[in-house]
Amino acid sequence: MRSQARGVDVISPEALVPDPIERYGPLALRLLVYAWLSYFFYQAVTTFDEYVPGQYWPFMLSTFRMFTFLPIHEAGHLIFSFFGRTLLILGGSFWQIAFPVLWFIIAARQRSHVAPFPLFWAGENIMDVSLYMRDATLRQMPLLGGHKSGHDWHNLFTDWGILDSAETWADVMFYLGIVICLVAICAGIVLAFRRFLNPVSILVPIPEE
């Protein structure tokens, strides 16, 4: 079926017989991405629930954390270093979560089908921060500075007088991160199938006579 609208031919998806690769390829790629995120999520859940000194983390999780999330965390300390002691300490964990949240907000405002992807990383980083919170009392996690005195959440919880509640706050963040990750994965899969079942109409310019 072909109709004219403002100088272009509008061809409905039903009138087309797309190449199988063009039709099924994007769906397969999106599902592959969210299958990978599901596996990453499994690694995060089983790793961030408790810190065990000397226990090796899964390679993929450890690599992403070291070369992606940790630089973002440290950048947060730098960005917020001009706003006083509390924001200097909090800035690392805050920016680690805020960065993917801002990415998600931008994608959502643009109604982009990729919005669940940054939402997943926001949830994953919330779980990552929860592990840091959980370590506030024992301070067993290795730090870049190498000294326990630089433990962000020990210092924050101590300043706020809630160090005894560190485990509770860690639990809240951990399960919040799980919920957000699950919502992101489910939403990504649903949007992938919606995009597959409702392809965008193609606009074909009308040749000049």
Does residue 148 belong to any structural domain of this protein?
A: yes
Reported confidence tier of residue 173, pLDDT bands at 50, 70, 90: very high
pLDDT tens digits, 111-133: 998 999 999 999 999 999 999 99
Residue 18: what pLDDT?
62
Does residue 55 belong to any structural domain of this protein?
A: no
pLDDT tens digits, 59-105: 999 998 999 999 999 999 999 999 999 999 999 999 999 999 999 99
Does residue 41 belong to any structural domain of this protein?
A: yes
What the block records as the tokens of 65 is: 């954390």
Domain count for the chain: 1
Does residue 11 belong to any structural domain of this protein?
A: yes
Residue 41: what pLDDT?
97
Residue 208: what pLDDT?
52
Q: What is the DSSP letter of 208?
A: P
Distance CA 112, CA 115 (A): 6
- Proportion of the chain above pLDDT 70, given as a percent: 85
> Vertex 167, ends 62 and 56: CA angle to 5°?
20
Does residue 99 belong to any structural domain of this protein?
A: yes
Residue 17: what pLDDT?
56
Does residue 37 belong to any structural domain of this protein?
A: yes
Rounded alpha-carbon distances, angstroms, from residue 78 to 6, 91, 94: 51, 8, 12
- Flag whether pLDDT at 138 surpasses 50: yes
**Terminal-to-terminal C-alpha distance of the chain:** 21
Does residue 118 belong to any structural domain of this protein?
A: yes
Reported confidence tier of residue 144, pLDDT bands at 50, 70, 90: confident
Does residue 54 belong to any structural domain of this protein?
A: no
Residue 7: what pLDDT?
53
pLDDT tens digits, 36-57: 999 999 999 999 998 888 888 9
The whole domain housing 70 covers 2-49+60-205
- Flag whether pLDDT at 150 surpasses 70: yes
How much is the pTM? Answer: 0.84
Local structure of 135: helix, strand or coil: coil
